[in-house]
Amino acid sequence: MPRLTVVVPAYNESAVLTAFHARLSKVLDQLPLACDVMYVDDGSRDDTWSIMQSLAASDPRVGTLKLSRNFGKEVALTAGLDHVDADAAVVIDADLQDPPELIPQLVEQWQAGYDVVYATRSARAGETGLKRFTAAAFYRTMEMMSDVAVPRDTGDFRLLSRRALAALGQLRERQRFMKGLFAWIGYRQTSIKYMRDPRLAGATKWNYWRLTQFAIEGITSFSSAPLKLATWTGLAAAVLAFLLAVKVLVKALLHGDPVPGYPSLMVVVLFLGGIQLLAIGVIGEYIGRNYNESKQRPLYFIEEEHRPGARTPLHTEATLQD
Ligand code: UDP
Ligand code: MG
């Protein structure tokens, strides 16, 4: 029987985890597959880890993984996926915004031969108009600027086949824009539509500051278009400056030069200063990312690991030694 692992990253999700597992198990019980669940505790500060332990104690399908600190969702997800050795993996959020009831449909497409099956939201219930607008603007910008098409209105909720998993496992970059990486690996990809539910309980970890960081992350790790921005604005400024010079020259020749133009001078100086700072900032973003990659640090550390069904912790140091 083919095996499926559901990977669930969780950070301070004690309020929803039990309800989530109940709904997920109901779905897994009905699948004609050997299923297990891998919960990844991304350094939570509440009792998420102990809840995971009690879920594991009552359900032999549950495996748990505890990271040494909070590394962020993208890395938590990667840690979970690195530990999958099933035929396929499903990635799902713990807050029940991605309905587990959709998993059978994902599996269906996988069995029809697709490697990546992602779920596309057709509604964003419980989200403000501003959030919806910024999300839409982000996807459009990504589409225009990057070399791979990142599917719109798609979260991380998806199914990956074995070879897609293997491919993803080889992408060890530190700047992990998962939506982009999922798209970048290629293979046969398809989508199914669903209505996104509001969060069941707890609060989203995304404020606008984090979302902006995320957008910059997405664009800089998949496009070098912003680097060309400096070239093009520089060129445009040079052309304008040339036209202005011609105008000033002609005027001076015809009428002489009574009073030098202070306002136009200020405008030009401030405009160019602004463009230069912007361009330096853009270059800085890329250099900073280069710096992070060049350190070649491991993506995460594991504090504790329990395989499904196994009651004793697996010590990672011991396994690394032999
Ligand atoms: N998450 C995580 N580490 C983090 C932040 C979030 O593992 O540092 C998990 C979180 O527990 C949830 C999923 O990632 O299962 C999505 O998080 P959230 O609901 O905050 O994001 P949103 O649904 O708004 O995209
Ligand atoms: Mg959420």
Q: What is the value of pTM for the model shown?
A: 0.72
Average pLDDT, the chain: 82
- Which of 205, 208, 210, 211 to mutate to test ligand 1, by most ligand atoms within 8 A of the CB atom? 205
Each residue's pLDDT tens digit, 249-287: 788 788 876 666 767 777 778 778 777 877 887 888 888
Q: Which of 48, 93, 157, 300 to mutate to test the pocket of ligand 1 (most atoms within 8 A of CB)?
A: 93
CA 22 to ligand 2 centroid distance, Å: 18
Task: Provide the token pair at 25.
Answer: 């198990």
Summarize the confidence of residues 293-303 as an average pLDDT. Answer: 87
The pLDDT value recorded for residue 199 is: 62
pLDDT: is 9 or 245 the higher one? 9
| Ligand 1 within 6 A of CB of 86 | no
Q: Is the Cβ atom of 206 under 6 angstroms away from ligand 1?
A: yes
Give the mean pLDDT of 29-43: 91
User: Which atom of ligand 1 lies closest to the CA of 205?
Assistant: 20
Higher per-residue pLDDT: 101 or 312 = 101
C-alpha to C-alpha distance for 95 and 6, rounded to whole angstroms: 14
**Whole-number pLDDT of residue 126:** 62
pLDDT in tens, 169-221: 898 888 888 888 888 888 989 888 887 666 666 666 667 787 888 788 777 77
The count of other CB atoms within 10 Å of the CB of residue 320 is 7
Tokens of 146: 């990057």
Whether the pLDDT of residue 321 is over 50: the answer is no
Closest CA to 165 of 66, 76, 90, 72: 90
- Ligand 1: residue whose CA is nearest its atom 5: 73
The arrangement of strands across the sheet holding 189-196 comes to 189-196, 116-124, 154-161, 88-91, 3-10, 34-41, 62-67, 302-306
d(CA 116, CA 189): 5
Q: What is the pLDDT of residue 48?
A: 92
What is the pLDDT at residue 245? 77
Q: Is the pLDDT of residue 99 over 60?
A: yes
Q: Whose CA is nearest to atom 22 of ligand 1?
A: 204
| Site of tokens 């990635």 | 91
Q: What is the DSSP string of 92-160?
A: --TTSSS-GGGHHHHHHHHHTT-SEEEEEEEEETT--HHHHHHHHHHHHHHHHH-SS-PPTTEEEEEEE
User: Which token pair is 187?
Assistant: 């293979």
* Structure-derived torsion over alpha carbons of residues 207, 133, 92, 113, reported in degrees to the nearest 10: -150
d(C-alpha 304, C-alpha 66), whole Å: 5
Q: Quick check: 116 and 187 in contact, CB under 8 A?
A: yes
Contact 2, 108 (CB under 8 A): no
Tokens matching residue 115: 């490697």
- Residues 186, 91, 182, CA angle at the centre, nearest 5°? 20
Q: Which of 322, 74, 50, 314 is nearest to 179 (CA)?
A: 74
Is residue 42 in contact with ligand 1, taking CB distance under 6 Å? yes
- Residue 52: the pLDDT is 93
